Amino acid sequence: MAEIVSLDELQNQSMLSMYGLVDRNASNEEVSHSPGISLIPTSKCCCKHKVTTVACLIEAINSVYDEKSPNHSNIWTERKAKIYEILNKIEFSPTELSKYIHFDSAIPYTRNLISTDHKNYTLLLLCWGAGRESKIHDHPCQGCFVRTISGSIAESIYTVNANKEIVFSRSNTYPAGLTSFMNDTIGLHKIGNPDPTQGAVSMHLYVPPYETCKIWQDAGVKMADAQEGRICHYSEYGQRTANPCACSGNEMYYI
C-alpha cells in the first residue's frame, strides 16, 4: 500500500530540500564597526568568519551577554552590532535546521523555539504558509532581529498619526540571506510570506524575551483598539509541543 503523505508533510520535506541559505553580507540597518575586525568573541566552535551550526550560533549569542562592556551607557549599541555580525555570518548546511522546520496549513505560521536563556533572548524559527502573514503588532522589548532562511519575507511598517490612528508608512522585502531589525522606535509592523505558491522560513531573535504583545487588525484603527496576542510555541527544542494549536483567535497571530 502506498504511503499517504499530508500536504503539510510535503511542505516540510520540500522546504528541507530547498531552504539553503546564501549569506549576502547585506543589511538594511546601519552597523558601525571597523571593516575586517570581528566583534564576535573567539570560541572553539565559533570562528570569526562564519557560523555553521545551531550550537555555534547559540554559543555566539550567549557570549554577547556574557561579556562585560566597559561602556555601560552604550552597551545596547555594542550588543546590537555584535548580534548583527553573528547573524550575517550564518552559513548553515541544508539540514542544520531540519528539526525545527514545521509547517501547518491550519495556521498562518508556526513558531519553533530553538533556544532561550529566559532573560536576555529567545531564538525561534518561523515557518510561513504560502501567502500567509502576521497581524500588525508591537515589540515590547529592545527589538527583534529577523534573518530570512528561505523564500522571502515581506514587511509592512506602520506609524501613528495625530489622531492616534495606525497608518501605513512603507514596505520592505528581505530575500534569503538578509537580516533586518525592528523595534517600537521604528514603528509597528506586520511580516509574512509574499509568495502565494510556496512556504518561507525565517529566524527571529527577540531581545529580551516577552510573553504578550499588542496586535491590531489593520491600518486605520486606533492605537487604543489594540488586542493582546499571547506567545505560543508549535515546537520547542525540536520537539512538538503537546497541544501546539491550543492558541485560538488573536493568539494564533502572535509574533
Residue 49 is labelled as binding a ligand: no
Contacts of the segment 185-188: beta carbons below 8 A, 24+ positions apart: 186/157, 187/157, 187/158, 187/159, 188/136, 188/137, 188/138, 188/157, 188/158, 188/159, 188/160, 188/216
Residue 189 is labelled as binding a ligand: yes
Q: Hey, how many other C-beta atoms are within 10 angstroms of the C-beta on 246?
A: 10
The C-alpha atoms of residue 200 and residue 37 are separated, in whole angstroms, by: 33
β-strand 212-216 against 200-207: which pairing, if any?
Answer: unpaired
- Grid coordinates standing for 31? 552597523
Is 74 strand, coil or helix? helix
Q: Answer yes or no: are the C-beta atoms of 172 and 157 closer than 8 Å.
A: yes
What residues have CB less than 8 Å from 81, skipping those under 6 apart?
31, 32, 33, 39
Return the closest-CA partner of residue 206 out of 253, 157, 139: 139
The C-alpha atoms of residue 255 and residue 122 are separated, in whole angstroms, by: 12
DSSP letter (8 states) at residue 99: G
Residue 139 is labelled as binding a ligand: yes
Annotated binding site: 137, 139, 189
- Annotated binding-site positions for Fe cation: 137, 139, 189
